[in-house]
Structure 1
Amino acid sequence: MQVHTVSLEDFSCADYHILGIHSALEDYQLAYLLNSFLRVHFKRCENDIDLKTKTSESFFPLYEFTDDYNDNVWYLISNVYKTNSKDPFNGLFAESETRSYLIPEKKKVDYFLKIEGEFTENKIENIKGVIHQIPGVITSYNIDTNTLKSKEFLIF
């Protein structure tokens, strides 16, 4: 009897690039500005990326743009989920903010831009150049997926 092994690589697109974006903008603001500057059409997905652990539950906004003409799919994913909790026994400091990260090893990255499809390095550099022109964006850069321990959260 033959045994087949399935790995994470079987479910992921081999041709994709991930850009990390640093920005204080809200996710909907960044999606709007990316639509304007890159001439794409990001739309909020019906379902967020849900991450459940034993102690908490986090929801990361997900935006998608499908370019049928060039056979590409773009995703904008928030890396940060903020929750406010209230402790009535702490008086003045009754409210505290808790942050969860989709990719914990990249805590300084606010958003990930995952682009599936065939792109030349020159095209990726052009996309980063346009992103740098967006007001409110601090920087963007390529992320090597081989260095990510939690890259399975970016497979969808």
Structure 2
Amino acid sequence: MQVHALVLDDFCDEEYSLIGIHTTLEEYKLAYLLNKNLGTHFSKSKEDLDLAFENEKKKASFSIYHFSSEKYVFDWFLIANSFRQETKTVSNELLLTTETKTYLIPEKKKVDFFIKISGEVDYMFVVKTIENINKIEGVITSYQIDKNTLKSKDFLIF
């Protein structure tokens, strides 16, 4: 009798393309401009991507915008890469505020947002999408990211 061992990667190998965006724009403004320039219809998801980091004992919530394309049969996600949390403490009658920043993909700290396009996407489609994103005023740059180089790519599976 033949035995077949399953590896966790057999279940988690989702096909998607990933675009990193550097911008000074707020998330809602970026979503609006992407809709205007790409012909997408991103809308804020009802729930954010909530993560709990056990080793650091903290929680983070990352904004997600979703667009489902019937024309291309792709699901698009606009995902914030950072979460800011303010902590207020009182010390010697002074109110001190500290801000901590948590990253969804820590090895890409300079990326402000990711666009995840689920499904098998043609390379030229991604290139044209990136060219159109780079034309948006307020976007510094955008580029394709090889998901296989990311250590934290598991956070992008949802």
Query: TM-score when scaled to structure 2?
Result: 0.89
Superimposed CA distance per residue, residues 97-136 of structure 1 (whole angstroms, 9 cap, x where no aligned partner)? 1100001111111101011233332221111111111111
Deviation at 1:21, TM superposition (A): 0.4
> Unaligned stretches of 5+ in structure 1?
none
Instruction: Map 1:13-52; keep pairs closer than 5 Å.
Output: 13-14=14-15, 16-52=16-52
Q: Following the alignment from structure 1 to structure 2, what is the Cα–Cα distance between the partners of residues 119 and 6?
A: 25
Hey, what does 2:6 align to over in structure 1? 5
Alpha-carbon distance in 2 for matches of 1:140, 1:68: 24
| Cα pair 1:73 1:116 within 8 Å, conserved | yes
Match of 1:46, SS state, is coil
Q: Distance in 2 between matches of 1:111 and 1:9?
A: 28
TM-score normalised by length of structure 1: 0.90
* Alignment partners' CA distance in 1, 2:12 and 2:127: 27
Query: How many residues are aligned here?
Result: 155
The equivalent residue for 1:69 is 71
Contact preservation (8 Å) 1:8, 1:152: no
Question: Could you say what the CA RMSD is over the residues aligned between the two structures, in angstroms?
Answer: 1.9
For structure 1, which segment, 116-125 or 2-11, has the greater mean C-alpha deviation from structure 2 after superposition? 2-11
Question: Which of 121, 132, 140 is the equivalent residue of 2:123?
Answer: 121
* Distance change (3 Å), C-alpha of 1:7 and 1:34: same
Unaligned runs of 5+ in 2: none
Deviation of residue 27 (structure 1)? 1.2
Structure-to-structure mapping, 1:53-68, within 5 angstroms:
53-54=53-54, 55-68=57-70
The structure with more strand, counted as a fraction of residues? 2
Q: Is the 8 A contact 1:102 1:153 kept in 2?
A: yes
* SS at structure 1 position matched to 2:126: helix
